[in-house]
């Protein structure tokens, strides 16, 4: 077949294909315009439609607490123009209807002062206020909302810090770890409040401390219970320590008035780590060494064990010698 003839057929096909694409584009354009005009015309008509609104319940009756899972949303059947309905369908996802429980017109159910219900279509004003007058409220679904309340109880409990820490070399805790406030008030259902004896902070870890730490730490949340404080300030006192050596006289406990007990030696040598701020006053601290006379009655080797009591937080790694002392009993 002649190649020129084939070329002519090819050119004719391309021109027809181009014309078809042009016609298709023109047709699509006018079809789109027609659809838009038709749609805009439809939006000018009035329609009934259901719009879903989230709800939040607030301002509970005095001394009452809402328990269980209250409704999260209500379905409003409204009447309005199409363009208004479209706008509300979009905005309703962001708008929350707040219902004041004190003024909502709750009805006690079955004579039980813990169970109430709200007839939504009798309290249409609670919902229609959110439609701003350009939509007419026809119906609210569900027609009845049920609520279960419990008596509100309060209780004061101590705060327990739940923390871990490590110290840098040559540093130690210089006192008691403190929490401020050291106790808070809980409010919630009586059945839950009665089981709580303390409240803990969230878990926190602090590494290589070399100075006093003060930090706000959140308290652990408790379902259905409100807290008077959300955070507490925890203080961990940290100081550099030094080694101290001093002597303590040995006291005698449970000694009858008619007897004198002589211990040999009469004192013990103490070695410990102490924070620097307490070093100068270490010998006047609350640390005491003693023996118990009651043990002398059962000792066969004429020796009494020495014990140390009253070790403050600013002292660590305390050791002393001797651990046993000899004694002589004299009657007065």
Q: Let me know whether 218 and 159 are in one domain.
A: yes
In a domain, 3, yes or no: no
Summarize pLDDT for 304-332 with one digit per residue, the tens: 999 999 877 788 889 999 999 998 888 87
Q: Let me know whether 128 and 172 are in one domain.
A: no
Q: Characterize the bridge pairing of strands 97-100 and 107-109.
A: unpaired
Report the 3 state secondary structure along the chain: CCHHHHHHHHHHHHHHHHHHHHHHHHHHHHHHHHHHHHHHHHHCCEEEEEEEEEEEEECCCCCEEEECCCCCEEEEEEEEEHHHHHHHHHHCCCCCEEEECCCCCCEEECCEEEEEEEEHHHCCHHHHHHHCCCCEEEEEECCEEEEEEEEEEEEEEEEECCEEEEECCCEEECCCCEEECCEEEEEEEHHHHCCCCEEEECCEEEEEECCCEEEEEEECCECCEEECCCEEEEEECEEEEEEEEEEEEEEEECCCCCEEEEEECCEEEEEEEEEHHHHHHHHHCCCEEEEEHHHHHCCCCCEEECEEECCCCCEEEEEEECCEEEEEEEEC
- Bigger pLDDT: 27 or 61? 61
Please compute the mean of the pLDDT values over residues 30-57 and round it to a whole number.
Answer: 66
Domain termination site, one of 84, 109, 142: 142
Please compute the mean of the pLDDT values over residues 261-271 and round it to a whole number.
Answer: 92
Distance of CA 43 to the CA centre of its chain: 48
In a domain, 28, yes or no: no
- Bigger pLDDT: 244 or 296? 244
Please compute the mean of the pLDDT values over residues 10-29 and round it to a whole number.
Answer: 60
Domain range for 183: 152-236
What pLDDT sits at residue 97? 85
Q: Let me know whether 216 and 232 are in one domain.
A: yes
Q: Let me know whether 269 and 316 are in one domain.
A: yes
Closest CA to 325 of 217, 250, 271: 250
What pLDDT sits at residue 1? 47
Inform me whether the pLDDT recorded for 303 exceeds 70. Answer: yes
Domain termination site, one of 211, 236, 261: 236
Summarize pLDDT for 40-51 with one digit per residue, the tens: 545 456 767 777
Inform me whether the pLDDT recorded for 212 exceeds 70. Answer: yes
Inform me whether the pLDDT recorded for 13 exceeds 60. Answer: no
Q: Let me know whether 79 and 130 are in one domain.
A: yes
CA distance 55 to 75: 10
In a domain, 195, yes or no: yes
Report the share of the chain in percent with pLDDT over 70. Answer: 80
Please compute the mean of the pLDDT values over residues 180-193 and round it to a whole number.
Answer: 91
Q: Let me know whether 112 and 183 are in one domain.
A: no
Domain count, the chain: 3
- Bigger pLDDT: 62 or 242? 242
Report the share of the chain in percent with pLDDT over 90. Answer: 33
What pLDDT sits at residue 21? 63
In a domain, 33, yes or no: no
Summarize pLDDT for 215-242 with one digit per residue, the tens: 999 999 998 888 999 999 999 999 999 9
What pLDDT sits at residue 312? 79
What pLDDT sits at residue 20? 57
What pLDDT sits at residue 32? 65
- Bigger pLDDT: 91 or 113? 113
Q: Let me know whether 54 and 138 are in one domain.
A: yes
Q: Let me know whether 52 and 124 are in one domain.
A: yes
- Bigger pLDDT: 262 or 83? 262
Q: Let me know whether 177 and 250 are in one domain.
A: no
């Amino acid at each position: 077949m002649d190649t020129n003839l084939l070329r002519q057929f090819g050119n004719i096909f391309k021109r027809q294909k181009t014309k078809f694409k042009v016609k298709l584009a023109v047709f699509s354009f006018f079809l789109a315009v027609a659809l838009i005009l038709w749609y805009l015309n439809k939006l000018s008509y009035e329609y009934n439609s259901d719009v879903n609104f989230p709800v939040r319940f607030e301002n509970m009756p005095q001394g009452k607490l809402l328990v269980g899972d209250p409704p999260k949303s209500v379905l409003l059947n409204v009447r309005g123009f199409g363009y208004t309905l479209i706008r509300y369908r979009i905005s309703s996802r962001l708008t929350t209807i707040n219902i004041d429980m004190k003024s909502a017109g709750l009805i006690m159910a079955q004579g039980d002062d813990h169970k109430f219900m709200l007839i939504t279509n009798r309290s249409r004003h609670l919902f229609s206020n959110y439609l701003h007058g350009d939509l007419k409220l026809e119906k609210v679904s569900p027609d009845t909302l049920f609520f279960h309340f419990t008596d509100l109880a309060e209780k004061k409990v101590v705060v327990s810090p739940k923390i871990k820490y490590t110290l840098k070399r040559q540093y130690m805790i210089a006192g008691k770890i403190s929490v401020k406030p050291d106790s808070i008030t809980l409010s919630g259902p009586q059945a839950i409040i009665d089981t709580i004896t303390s409240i803990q902070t969230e878990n926190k870890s602090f590494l290589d401390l070399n100075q006093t730490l003060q930090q706000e730490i959140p308290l652990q949340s408790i379902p259905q219970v409100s807290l008077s404080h959300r955070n507490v300030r925890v203080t961990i006192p940290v100081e550099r320590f030094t080694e101290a050596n001093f002597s303590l006289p040995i006291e005698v406990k449970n000694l009858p008035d008619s007897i004198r007990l002589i211990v040999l030696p009469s004192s013990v040598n103490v070695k410990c780590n102490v924070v620097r701020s307490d070093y100068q006053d270490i010998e006047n601290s609350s640390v005491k060494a003693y023996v118990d006379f009651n043990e002398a009655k059962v000792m066969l080797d004429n020796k009494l064990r020495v014990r140390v009591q009253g070790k403050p937080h600013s002292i660590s790694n305390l050791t002393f010698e001797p651990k046993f002392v000899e004694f002589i009993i004299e009657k007065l």
